[in-house]
Chain A
Amino acid sequence: MKTLLLCDRESVRYDGLDLCAQTQTTVQKAGGQTQTIILNCQEIKPCRGCFHCWLKTPGLCVMTDDCANTVSRQEIQADAVILLSKITYGGYSGDVKAFLDRSIPNISPFFELVKGTMRHRRRYDRFPYLISIGYDARTPKEQQTFLTLAERNALNMRPPQYFAFTMQSSGEVEATMQALEDILRREVWRP
């Protein structure tokens, strides 16, 4: 089972812990292979909102001098994607969001109605399982915002299932890693 782990730069030194390495170890313990990418918003150019990835070179971003198209490819070819992000006002950090904005070539420009509201159609017939892990929330409200965001993202990307975890302190890392291992074994790798 191929797992793509996308993390932000801060995740390797969260309160003295390397959360990125711990997540990687957890996935391997659960029997998955991981590919880990540390995203850096200084290197990933901001999406410029031109929609050429939908209408000119469908499925590919026209900015080709950074890693975004490669990571989008790895996303589609993975069985599961884990987004490891510092909770930033309840959303993803700048590093993780820089890639998410550039990943829209992976969906279709066309709309359809899902549960009564407008969504994009899929480009690919399958999208990997989506797992969002948010750390360093400052308030319970931020945790709630992050969980709702993961739910909304899943409505657009349409993974078979999505999972989201939040942490307010490094004391919660161990329990979160245990929960991650459980869902990988029970839900994601299940035959």
Chain B
Amino acid sequence: MSDIVFINGSPKAKDSVSGMLIDKIEALLQAKSSVYQAVSLLRNENNAAALTEILNARVLLIVFPLYVDSLPAPLIRVLNLLEEAAPKMAGQLPRLYGVCNCGFFEAEHNRLALEILENFAHCAGMGWGYGVGVGGGGFIAAQSKKMATGGPAFNVYSALRELCAAIQDGKTRQQNVLVRPKIPRFLYQLGAHFGWRQMAKKYGATAFLQAKPHREV
């Protein structure tokens, strides 16, 4: 049995910010843990053993991106499955912690998604630890190597370190923690727009970025 189980709610198979954050948290925790991808849990019809492992853990940590101000659809479906399976468990259900990252600069945007996760914990009968909302997701991906030692995303790393300490000590918080890298907003926006244009250039789509394929003619 794993002490700590992660669910990665990002539908991206690789290079997700959520996956990167899970790697950091796993390294900080140094505990036996398993990581499940929400989309794989749905794809696999024989997921009963996985759901049981998740529900038997001491701590469940769900790390996910913000999608349209809330949770990605596959993660909502996984929560439905967990809630359905929870009453069949004999022992105590895990305590849930959450980490949500978003593409907008402000960490505020994640507040509601963390509230939805907390509502889920109550419905499923799990305890709620607390959530960390990370703004500026597009920037922290690039800080992966440095963030543990310094730089503008060091405060994001510190928030993860505090989360790990809370998980290890079995502590909870009344309030979620909202954090974003320490860079000016205009610079974040400039970087994001530059990044979009670079990618569009690669696909030869620069001239059509504002295309309106559904406008009635």
Contact = CB atoms under 8 A, between A and B. Distances in A.
Interface of A: 41, 46-52, 54-60, 72-73, 75-77, 88-94, 97-98, 100-101, 103-104, 106, 108-111, 117-119, 123-124, 138-139, 141-142, 145, 148-149, 152-153, 156
B76 A56 contact: no
Nearest to A153: B69
A110 B11 contact: no
B76 to A, nearest CB: 5
A52 B196 CA distance: 10
A90 B71 contact: no
A149 B203 contact: no
Q: Which of A48, A52, A106, A141 has the most B CB atoms < 10 Å from its CB?
A: A48
B185 A46 contact: no
A117 B12 contact: no
B70 A48 contact: no
B36 interface: no
Nearest to A150: B69
B70 to A, nearest CB: 4
Interface string B142-175: 0000000000000000000000000000000000
B77 interface: yes
Contacts of B76: 88-89, 91-94, 97
B32 interface: no
B67 A101 contact: yes
State the 7 A-B residue pairs at the shortest beta-carbon distance, nearest first: A97-B73, A76-B214, A89-B119, A56-B203, A98-B73, A118-B104, A94-B77
Contact of A58 (B16, B72, B122, B208): B208
Contacts of B69: 149, 152-153, 156
B80 interface: yes
Given A58-B208, A59-B212, A117-B109, A111 B104 contact: yes
B200 interface: yes
B216 A77 contact: yes
Contacts of A60: 213
B56 to A, nearest CB: 22
A49 B119 contact: no
Given A46-B72, A47-B72, A108-B210, 12 more contacts: A41-B73, A46-B73, A76-B215, A77-B214, A94-B74, A100-B73, A111-B104, A111-B189, A123-B212, A124-B212, A139-B119, A153-B68
A91 B205 CA distance: 34
B211 interface: yes
A58 B205 contact: yes
Interface string B111-134: 010011101101100000000000
B192 A149 contact: no
Nearest to A109: B196
Nearest to A107: B68
A35 to B, nearest CB: 15
Contacts of A118: 104-106, 185, 189
Given A89-B116, A145-B112, A104 B68 contact: yes
A47 B67 contact: yes
B68 A100 contact: yes
A110 B195 CA distance: 11
A46 B108 contact: no
A111 B211 contact: no
B8 to A, nearest CB: 12
Contacts of A101: 67-68, 72-73
A89 B196 contact: no
Contact of B68 (A58, A93, A97, A119): A97
